[in-house]
Structure 1
């Protein structure tokens, strides 16, 4: 059995803009999903896998399902830290756990789980996650990349 080392999850920083808020200056609930999508995209980019390049290799990641819990509101001009950590890595899907934090007071604003499927870009049929990407997640220390890597 391999020992797990507690690592900080990948984090993407962003700021709340006027376009992200409602008339009261509070982030509209669906925009948290956009912030989390950006963090997943930047997570892949940090591992060396740009989605534009993967699409040229007939590979896309699509959200199969999502769940979000809202704890506190973000407001105009807040700086956010959005985490993206792999909870489970299967043959053709990834399960991410994500959180959105307000930086100035370390308040958890929103958290969610996302099942992301790996599909062929031309047919949208499931395909295996490439070994290089699987290895990159494991090397980065995501906790869900060891137990189900061979499924």
Structure 2
């Protein structure tokens, strides 16, 4: 379903289904954000963290802000490649740079998402568990090509 390689942003493959399109047969603009969310979720899973387990530990993630720029339209049955690259890790937030491309390499949409770590019972900000912050930073340095610890 997904593959993560050293030196490359995490990538998730997905297919455009009828339910993703509008009456004109192209992907409805907000659905690109849904594809990005799925890639971030799978990125987290690829680092060894399941959101259902984290929620039991009183940890959830909320999108603080998101930006998107659209370049071309995806259509029914297109295969998409969605990346989720960690750009910045702070005490209670992580910033992702994301792209959605058609499998032929055509850039369809790109954007950034700032995601905050909050307590599930109060929705108040909380620091990332050290293990998770370390995993995010390790992924970030692998993607940038830097040695872990150089950042």
After TM superposition, the score normalised by the length of structure 2 is: 0.89
- 1:122 maps to what in 2? 121
- Which digits, 9 at most, give the CA deviation of each residue in 1:31-63, with x for residues without a partner? 000000000000000001010100000000100
Q: How does 1:46-125 map to 2 (within 5 A)?
A: 46-103=46-103, 105-125=104-124
CA distance in 2, matches of 1:73, 1:33: 14
Contact map agreement 2:44 2:50 (CA 8 A) in 1: yes
Contact map agreement 2:92 2:125 (CA 8 A) in 1: yes
Q: How does 1:34-45 map to 2 (within 5 A)?
A: 34-45=34-45
- Tell me: CA distance 1:25–1:147, structure 2 relative to 1, closer, same or farther (3 Å): farther
- Tell me: CA distance 1:91–1:10, structure 2 relative to 1, closer, same or farther (3 Å): same
Number of corresponding residues: 142
- 1:22 maps to what in 2? 22
- Which digits, 9 at most, give the CA deviation of each residue in 1:53-107, with x for residues without a partner? 000000001000000000000000000000001110000000000000000x210
Structure 1 vs Structure 2 CA RMSD: 1.8
Q: How does 1:131-142 map to 2 (within 5 A)?
A: 131-140=130-139, 141-142=142-143
After TM superposition, the score normalised by the length of structure 1 is: 0.89
Displaced runs of 4 or more, over 3 A: 142-148
- 1:3 maps to what in 2? none
Q: Secondary structure, in 3 states, of the residue corresponding to 1:60?
A: strand
Q: Secondary structure, in 3 states, of the residue corresponding to 2:133?
A: helix
Q: Secondary structure, in 3 states, of the residue corresponding to 2:29?
A: coil
